[in-house]
Amino acid sequence: MTTTSGTFDVARIREDFPLLKQTVNGKPLVYLDNAATSQKPQSMIDALVRYYTTENSNVHRGVHTLSQLATDDYEAARTKVRKFINAAEDHELIYVRGTTEGINLVAQTFGRQNIGQGDEIIISTMEHHSNIVPWQILCEEKGAQLKVVPINDSGELLIDEYEKLLSPRTKLVSIVHQSNALGTINPMEAIIEMAHSRGVPVLVDGAQSIPHMTIDVQKMGCDFFVFSGHKLFGPTGIGILYGKAEYLNAMPPYQAGGEMIRSVSFEKTTYNVLPHKFEAGTPNIAGAIGLGAAIDYLNDLGMERINTYEKELLDYGTDCLSRIEGLKIIGTAKEKGGILSFVLGDIHPHDIGTILDTQGIAIRTGHHCAQPVMQRFGIPATARASLAFYNTKAEIDSLVEGIDRVLEVFS
Amino acid sequence: MSQLPDVPLDGLYGDAIMDHYRNPRRRSPLPNADIESHELNPFCGDEITLRMKLGADGRVEAVSSVSQGCSIIQASASMMAELMTGQMLSALKERSQKFRSMMRGESLAEDDLKGLGDLLALLVVRRYPVRIKCALLPWLALEEGIEKMASDGVRLYPKNEGI
Ligand SMILES: Cc1ncc(COP(=O)(O)O)c(C=O)c1O
């Protein structure tokens, strides 16, 4: 078993993830469901334990020592996120529950403020439901229209069609960076440039891209970027909405309550400054600190090295799976991240998932909250193996053996 | 930790289920049915269309059960179709309820178990909680069909048994 790739010592790295050591159904766990959620390094888990054991208190409220410590760590985590995605200012980062809440926040504030009757929002065929439904609801409320960029048979966005859809009525473009169902990595810089040349802002759903590549929001040029901590080796219930200050400042508040106000009287309430304006109520303090710890961990490994290793793993997986007779990979874009979505003859993905599970192999089966993608390919569901940097070629070999077992059962 | 037996798949893909999956019964769509019902599980695309034709005595005279999806829904749909012919809707409704409580993990009386016949092969699905709904979908279609019949005033019970 080779788990060392260049200087990327995967065997060593796996030691950092306690959950990966367990057996499932009597077999060593092969965790290939990283696009759903990722596993957690011990240092991240320790940060949560340390916070609750030694520091737990509310932020931005107390003058006492613990509250000060908690506030410092909570805000230090924000700075870590800023550096991680190269945002210009800490206050451009809003803590939210995850990608879903980030998109809903923008829809309910920026969207309700700027999108009206006859206006248009552009999304794509490969969006996760969380980047479709909030816009549909907004469009219904405002009498606006959703325009959808089509994709080709490889699962690549048709950029020419996108350009044609941009019109004077377009008020926002909201596109996924890396598709969770297909793995396609979209050319965000080009997409953003075309929108900006017409004065249209762009939201990027970064849920699936940020765990696997270096993100530089200033270089990319996006106006909003959202992601979930739990897919980035951090805790559940925490995520980030990045927005350019000019937009965030102009947007009305999302939720109302404590923390987001500057002064309240029954006659008039004035809102707090960024980022607090969008962080009503006691936030997920431990979550933010855990996210910061996950980012520390990733910085130690290096996103470039992670990306290089994962590419190698994806190439290996693509090659192995392509050799299996009757197996068809759904999503074969030239620019692609570590997602292997496939169908296997007429064997239903549920059956594949169950048989693999008995061998300790965890994959996802279903429509992956991307039903329009399934419709585009004329299938009800796929089986999906999604990779992270702690996966190995040996695990891909186990997946292949598992699929062979599926074929045996259904032969 | 492990909820599954060490023997892989312990019967989930056993002979009875695979036989019904590979050779589904009553699969050609019934023309001029008296009632049609349809169920869909949007999460996985499992789908069933059930059609029934009733005889003058109120018994099921013909049935078609066309399902799409995994092996479990297809086997369950086929097994269900096979035992429907000649039955009163009241008896089918009762059997459906028995089957559902069996799948929910309730223990059934000896006689009830016997009455389930081939369906007993689906008992193994209980070990795979996420798959139970696959086995139940055809029965939801059956119960929906029976409801529709009842609301149309169709006789569910044999003569002299009363309602
Ligand atoms: C591309 C994409 N967008 C959005 C989401 C939603 O993320 P969350 O459920 O963490 O809010 C997901 C999660 O599956 C995703 O893959």
- pLDDT for A209-224, tens place per residue? 999 999 999 999 999 9
Verify that A163 and A234 share a domain, yes or no: yes
Give residue-wise pLDDT tens across range B29-43.
999 899 899 999 887
Q: What integer is the mean pLDDT of A114-141?
A: 98
pLDDT of residue B4: 36
- Catalytic annotation on A222? no
Name the residue facing A381 among B2, B44, B128 (closest C-beta).
B44
Where do we find the tokens 């097994």? Answer: B79
Alpha-carbon dihedral of residues A25, B10, A34, B71, nearest 10 degrees?
-170
The range of the structural domain enclosing residue A187 comes to 46-299
Angle, in degrees to the nearest 10, between helices B71-84 and A349-357: 110
Selection from A337, A332, A340, A341 nearest residue A307 by Cα: A337
Chain A residues lying within 8 Å of B2, measured CB to CB: 23-26
CATH label of the domain that carries residue A203: 3.40.640.10
Over 70: is that where the pLDDT of A1 sits? no
Verify that A27 and A59 share a domain, yes or no: no
Containing A24, the helix (H) or strand (E) segment is strand A23-24
Looking at the domain assignment, is residue A40 inside a domain? Answer: no
* Distance in angstroms (rounded) separating the CA atoms of residues B100 and B123: 11
In angstroms, what separates the C-alpha of A410 from chain B's closest C-alpha?
A: 8
pLDDT of residue B14: 86
Selection from A168, A236, A226 nearest residue A202 by Cα: A226
Contact status of A373 with chain B (Cβ, < 8 Å): no
Contact status of A351 with chain B (Cβ, < 8 Å): yes
By C-alpha distance, the chain A residue nearest B45 is A380
As a whole number of Å, the CA-based R_g of chain B is 16
Contact status of A19 with chain B (Cβ, < 8 Å): no
Which CATH code is given to the segment(s) B12-150? 3.90.1010.10
Residue B129 has, within 13 A of its CA and on its CB side, a CA count of: 2
Q: Where are the beta strands (DSSP E) in chain B?
A: 35-41, 46-54, 60-68
The order of strands in the sheet holding B46-54 is B35-41, B46-54, B60-68
**Confidence (pTM):** 0.91
Over 70: is that where the pLDDT of B150 sits? yes
Give residue-wise pLDDT tens across range B94-140.
999 989 988 988 887 888 777 777 888 898 899 888 899 999 999 99
Q: Are B44 and A365 within 8 A, CB to CB?
A: yes
Verify that A309 and A295 share a domain, yes or no: no
Verify that A177 and A281 share a domain, yes or no: yes
> Which CB contacts under 8 angstroms, 24+ apart, belong to B36-41?
B36/B145, B37/B141, B37/B142, B37/B144, B37/B145, B37/B148, B38/B141, B39/B137, B39/B138, B39/B140, B39/B141, B39/B144, B41/B69, B41/B133, B41/B134, B41/B137
Largest Cα–Cα distance of chain A, in whole Å? 74
In angstroms, what separates the C-alpha of A347 from chain B's closest C-alpha?
A: 7
Domain ranges of chain B: 12-150
Residues A157, A160, A162: CA angle, nearest 5 degrees: 65
pLDDT of residue A258: 81
**Helices of type H across B6-131:** 15-22, 71-84, 89-103, 110-115
Distance from residue A108's CA to the centre of ligand 1 (Å): 18
Structural domain tally of chain A? 2
Point out the ligand 1 atom lying closest to the alpha carbon of residue A176.
1
Contact status of A50 with chain B (Cβ, < 8 Å): no
Q: Work out the number of other CB atoms within 10 angstroms of the CB of residue A31.
A: 23
* Distance in angstroms (rounded) separating the CA atoms of residues A389 and A367: 24
- Give the percent of chain A with pLDDT over 90: 91
Q: Under the phi-then-psi rule, with left for phi > 0, alpha for psi from -120 to 50, and beta for the rest, what region is B62?
A: beta
Point out the ligand 1 atom lying closest to the alpha carbon of residue A205.
3
Q: Are A358 and B4 within 8 A, CB to CB?
A: yes
The order of strands in the sheet holding A327-330 is A327-330, A339-344, A382-386, A364-366
Selection from A336, A339, A349 nearest residue A403 by Cα: A349
Distance from residue A319's CA to the centre of ligand 1 (Å): 27
Chain B residues lying within 8 Å of A349, measured CB to CB: 44, 70
Verify that A267 and A309 share a domain, yes or no: no
A182-191, A266-275, A299-308: lowest mean pLDDT where?
A266-275
pLDDT of residue B57: 86
End residue of a domain, out of A280, A299, A318: A299
Selection from A154, A157, A134, A158 nearest residue A146 by Cα: A134
Whose CA is closest to atom 7 on ligand 1? A99
Contact status of A129 with chain B (Cβ, < 8 Å): no
Verify that A267 and A283 share a domain, yes or no: yes
End residue of a domain, out of A272, A299, A326: A299
Verify that A224 and A359 share a domain, yes or no: no
Whose CA is closest to atom 15 on ligand 1? A207
Q: Are B13 and A381 within 8 A, CB to CB?
A: no
* Distance in angstroms (rounded) separating the CA atoms of residues A400 and B70: 21
End residue of a domain, out of A299, A332, A366: A299
Looking at the domain assignment, is residue A2 inside a domain? Answer: no
Verify that A226 and A364 share a domain, yes or no: no
In angstroms, what separates the C-alpha of B92 from chain A's closest C-alpha?
A: 28
Looking at the domain assignment, is residue A348 inside a domain? Answer: yes
Selection from A210, A221, A407 nearest residue A325 by Cα: A407
Distance of CA A23 to the CA centre of its chain: 27
Verify that A179 and A104 share a domain, yes or no: yes
CATH label of the domain that carries residue A347: 3.90.1150.10
Chain B residues lying within 8 Å of A380, measured CB to CB: 44-46, 68-69
* CB-neighbour burial class of residue A3 (10 A; exposed 0-12, middle 13-18, buried 19+): middle
Interface predicted TM-score (ipTM): 0.80
Name the residue facing B2 among A24, A354, A371 (closest C-beta).
A24
Looking at the domain assignment, is residue A41 inside a domain? Answer: no
Contact status of B68 with chain A (Cβ, < 8 Å): yes
Over 80: is that where the pLDDT of B6 sits? no
Q: What integer is the mean pLDDT of A180-202?
A: 98
Parallel, antiparallel or unpaired: strands A170-176 and A202-205: parallel
Looking at the domain assignment, is residue A36 inside a domain? Answer: no
Distance from residue A281's CA to the centre of ligand 1 (Å): 24
Verify that A307 and A290 share a domain, yes or no: no
* Residue of A99, A185, A188, A371 with the most ligand 1 atoms within 8 Å of its CB, for mutation: A99
Compute the residue count for chain B. 163
The per-residue b/e assignment along A85-96, b for 16 or more CB within 10 angstroms, e otherwise, is: bebeebbbbbbb
Chain B residues lying within 8 Å of A381, measured CB to CB: 44-45
Q: Which of B15, B44, B76 to mutate to test the interface with A (most CBs of A within 10 A)?
A: B44
* Distance in angstroms (rounded) separating the CA atoms of residues B74 and B18: 9
Chain A residues lying within 8 Å of B6, measured CB to CB: 25-26
By C-alpha distance, the chain B residue nearest A29 is B2
In angstroms, what separates the C-alpha of B4 from chain A's closest C-alpha?
A: 6
Verify that A129 and A89 share a domain, yes or no: yes
**Helices of type H across A129-226:** 133-142, 159-165, 188-196, 217-220
Q: Are B8 and A354 within 8 A, CB to CB?
A: no
Containing A330, the helix (H) or strand (E) segment is strand A327-330
Mean pLDDT of chain A: 95
> How far, CA to CA in Å, does B83 sit from each of A60, B87, B115?
67, 8, 10
Give residue-wise pLDDT tens across range A350-404.
999 999 999 999 999 988 999 999 999 999 899 999 999 999 999 999 999 999 9
Verify that A64 and A25 share a domain, yes or no: no
**What's at A75, amino acid-wise?**
E
* Distance in angstroms (rounded) separating the CA atoms of residues B105 and B16: 20
If you write DSSP's letter for every residue of A228-261 in order, what string do you get?
A: EGGGGTS-TT-EEEEE-HHHHHHSPPSS-SSSSE
pLDDT of residue A217: 98
Q: Where are the beta strands (DSSP E) in A112-155?
A: 120-124, 145-149
Q: How confident is the model at residue B8 (pLDDT cuts 50, 70, 90)?
A: very low
